[in-house]
Amino acid sequence: MNSAYIYLQIYRLFDKSTPLPLDCGRYCSEACCKGDSESGMYLFPGEKAVFDMVCPDGWRITDSELTYSYNGKERKTPILICDGSCDRYFRPLACRIFPLTPILDNEGHIKIIIDPRARSVCPLANTFDKDEFDKDFTESVKKAFILLSKNKHVYEFLKTYTEYIEEYNRFFKDLRG
Ligand code: SF4
Ligand code: SF4
């Protein structure tokens, strides 16, 4: 099946589901969209197909430094760099689930956590516990990744991604002392 179709279906989970039942961007001037011109969002395996079909003007996709292996091949994770504004229906999955993110727990099951990379940007990531986010939103994030992780390519990617996120968690833990 076309991976773009799968992602487009998953995106729909987040059409109405947001971290809080209000527009949190109004209170932080959309801080998560204000990175520099080289910062961007990782695309999950197969998600690039969505932006191969339609990519807003001024956006670009490039290979990131995050590599993982799948099917005996070393692969680079694509990163989408936007221009800091968008029609919300064009947002990639990483933006839709922010500031949460998936990792694999010790048993290899999907676990949803607050993204440690969000701590330097997002007031919600710094002040809320995961349980304080809108329940529908948290459940949609979990549902999306339980579904996606049935795909072996996504699952293999998540193994590397988990190590990458855990590295950030250790870094912030060390900072907090
Ligand atoms: S930085 Fe956090 S609070 Fe601000 S718009 Fe993004 S998700 Fe909402
Ligand atoms: S794609 Fe849209 S939501 Fe995501 S960072 Fe860019 S402007 Fe923000």
Q: What is the mean pLDDT of each successive set of 10 residues along the chain, which is 177 residues long?
A: 92 94 89 81 97 93 97 97 90 97 98 94 93 96 98 98 95 70
In a domain, 21, yes or no: no
In a domain, 20, yes or no: no
In a domain, 19, yes or no: no
Q: From ligand 1's centre to the CA of 107, what distance in Å?
A: 31
Q: From ligand 1's centre to the CA of 15, what distance in Å?
A: 16
Q: From ligand 1's centre to the CA of 124, what distance in Å?
A: 7
- What distance in Å separates the CA atoms of residue 134 and residue 44, rounded to the nearest whole number? 23
pLDDT value at residue 46: 97
User: Which tokens hold the place of 68?
Assistant: 């993982």
In a domain, 44, yes or no: yes
100 Cβ inside 6 Å of ligand 1? no
Q: Is 41 left (phi over 0), alpha (psi -120 to 50) or beta?
A: beta
In a domain, 83, yes or no: yes
**What is the pTM (predicted TM-score) of this model?**
0.94
165 Cβ inside 6 Å of ligand 1? no
Q: Which domain holds residue 60?
A: 3-14+27-176
How many separate domains does the chain show?
Answer: 1
- Whose alpha carbon is nearest atom 2 of ligand 1? 122
Q: From ligand 1's centre to the CA of 78, what distance in Å?
A: 23
Q: Nearest ligand to the C-alpha of residue 60? A: 2
pLDDT value at residue 176: 64
35 Cβ inside 6 Å of ligand 1? no
pLDDT value at residue 39: 79
pLDDT value at residue 52: 95
User: Which tokens hold the place of 96?
Assistant: 């839709």
In a domain, 22, yes or no: no
pLDDT value at residue 110: 98
pLDDT value at residue 35: 75
User: Which tokens hold the place of 161?
Assistant: 């991604």
Q: From ligand 1's centre to the CA of 96, what distance in Å?
A: 11
pLDDT value at residue 92: 97
- Ligand 2 atom index nearest CA of 94: 4
DSSP 8-state class, residue 128: -
